[in-house]
Amino acid sequence: MLKYQDVAKKIQQAIYQQNLPKGTQLPNIEGLIQQYQVSRTTIIKALNRLERHGVIYQIQGSGIFVRQPKKQGYLNFLESHGFSVDLNDLPGSSQVFNVDVMQPNVKVKEYLQCEDDEYVYYIKRLRLVEGKVYGFEQSYYRKKIVSYLNKEIAENSIFSYVKDICKVNIGFSDKYFKAIKLDEDIAPYLGLNAGDPALCVEEIFYTSSGEPFDFSQIIYHYDNAKFFVQSHSK
Amino acid sequence: MLKYQDVAKKIQQAIYQQNLPKGTQLPNIEGLIQQYQVSRTTIIKALNRLERHGVIYQIQGSGIFVRQPKKQGYLNFLESHGFSVDLNDLPGSSQVFNVDVMQPNVKVKEYLQCEDDEYVYYIKRLRLVEGKVYGFEQSYYRKKIVSYLNKEIAENSIFSYVKDICKVNIGFSDKYFKAIKLDEDIAPYLGLNAGDPALCVEEIFYTSSGEPFDFSQIIYHYDNAKFFVQSHSK
């Protein structure tokens, strides 16, 4: 973690631990430099990060203020790498059905820009939060980039493993989504009926050098999974 | 528009007009400084903006590259102020049902942090793209911030009007969404049946000084409205 990220985390923790209401003014930049004993540049980068993440807003010439905290139980749609629960740290878990090595089908091959002779890991799992079913996920990892995966890894965070163990620099993602009608194959996984609504999110993840390495499709339970996005105009 | 925004726009136009494929390397920073005759700082800010917007990616020590262009017909979920179609510039329009002044109900009052005696504009309209129904929108503007609205304005972009005419600095937004089952009141607006799926997006918009001024709920047609988000890890 870079120093400005660490400072950003500390400021954020201070806000949430003290339960500061929306609109509370934080110390100014000089005050924060004193408090965290870091350079001006580090504080400015930390504040910009917190602004991007929807934790604070800055009014030029006026100060730094706390933003509305996220509603409880909503998933952060942007920070989740495929899936993860924000700040409030609800306990998430995964029920893994299979971890297979296979040749990609045409769609996956195209999305992941695979060569003809490439193999992918295919993982099918149910994502749960506090024991409730949130989504049914099917994901495909290129074996040439993520050379090993197993059930145990898939039961925890594949992304932490990919970053920390496989040393893949995760760069960016393209995410596509829409509401759908559940078909009779997927509905039972979510405990729902065919024809019920769901949110279908497809995402392609790229390394920082622009190579796609993961394609995931998650079908979210319409009643259990709610999302938020905090945006700012800059 | 600030200079770096203008340069970002020009670089983006150049990419799309030349239809540069994903992975195409752009000139380096020196080259771009020459080409656009602006300072290094301006180029760096322009590139960071384009990276945030998913147009390019930068590899340290290696260069600047074109990202996968967005799929045709998908709405940019982040840049839309409530609703607007990206780059490809599909023709959007609105069918306005009413523009009324009223006292807000409890939910709207809370979201917009209204005083007891405040009034809001309530606007009900259908959003269309190329004549197809995309969504049914109900939005509420605080009269003390947006003091005048009418049908003609609502048929075009309320946000342009709010920015350019009312001189409101739009700051940030909180967006909440989930898949829902349509009820029998809303379904007919979308030409669908009760029980059909939809994406329900609720968004609160704030001025740059942190005052909420607009609450909007859009119920999107599950088959017509598709969305994308391009994210990056920074």
Share of chain B above pLDDT 90, in %: 65
| Contact between B23 and A170 using a beta-carbon 8 Å cutoff | no
| Contact between A54 and B174 using a beta-carbon 8 Å cutoff | yes
Tens of pLDDT, residue by residue over A112-163, are 999 999 999 999 999 998 889 999 999 999 999 999 999 999 998 898 899 8
| pLDDT for B87 beyond 50 | no
Domain with CATH 3.40.1410.10 in chain A: 75-228
| Contact between A176 and B71 using a beta-carbon 8 Å cutoff | yes
CA-to-CA separations, B198 to A43, B98, B106, B221, in angstroms, rounded: 42, 23, 24, 6
Asked if residues B20 and B55 have their Cβ atoms less than 8 Å apart, the reply is: no
CATH architecture under which domain B75-228 falls: 3-Layer(aba) Sandwich (3.40)
Q: How confident is the model at residue B90 (pLDDT cuts 50, 70, 90)?
A: low
pLDDT value at residue A88 = 46
pLDDT value at residue B85 = 41
Distance CA B188, CA B32 (A): 52
Tell me what the mean pLDDT of segment B151-167 comes to. 91
| pLDDT for B158 beyond 50 | yes
| pLDDT for B82 beyond 60 | no
CB-CB neighbours of B209 under 10 Å: 13
Using a CB-CB cut-off of 8 Å, the residues of chain B touching A71 are 176
| pLDDT for B84 beyond 50 | no
Q: Which residue has the higher pLDDT, A131 or B201?
A: B201
Question: Chain B, 126-165: which have a CB under 8 Å from a chain A CB?
Answer: none
Q: How confident is the model at residue B86 (pLDDT cuts 50, 70, 90)?
A: very low
> Among all chains, which residue has been given the structure tokens 């339960």?
A19
| Contact between A228 and B176 using a beta-carbon 8 Å cutoff | yes
Tell me what the mean pLDDT of segment B100-127 comes to. 96
| pLDDT for B71 beyond 90 | no
Q: What is chain B's mean pLDDT, rounded?
A: 89
pLDDT value at residue B51 = 87
> Within chain A, which residues score under 50 in pLDDT?
82-88, 234
pLDDT value at residue B62 = 84
| Contact between B57 and A206 using a beta-carbon 8 Å cutoff | yes
pLDDT value at residue B202 = 95
pLDDT value at residue B233 = 61
N- to C-terminal Cα separation, chain A:
24
Distance CA A212, CA A159 (A): 14
B198 in reach of chain A (CB within 8 A): yes
Q: Which CATH class is domain B3-66?
A: mainly alpha
Asked if residues B234 and B49 have their Cβ atoms less than 8 Å apart, the reply is: no
Domain with CATH 1.10.10.10 in chain B: 3-66
Q: Which residue has the higher pLDDT, A12 or B230?
A: A12
A194 in reach of chain B (CB within 8 A): no
B25 in reach of chain A (CB within 8 A): no
Nearest C-alpha of chain B: how many angstroms from A195?
Answer: 8
| Contact between B209 and A59 using a beta-carbon 8 Å cutoff | yes
| pLDDT for B83 beyond 60 | no
Query: Which residue from A67, A208, A226 is facing B59, i.e. has the nearest CB?
Result: A208
A19 in reach of chain B (CB within 8 A): no
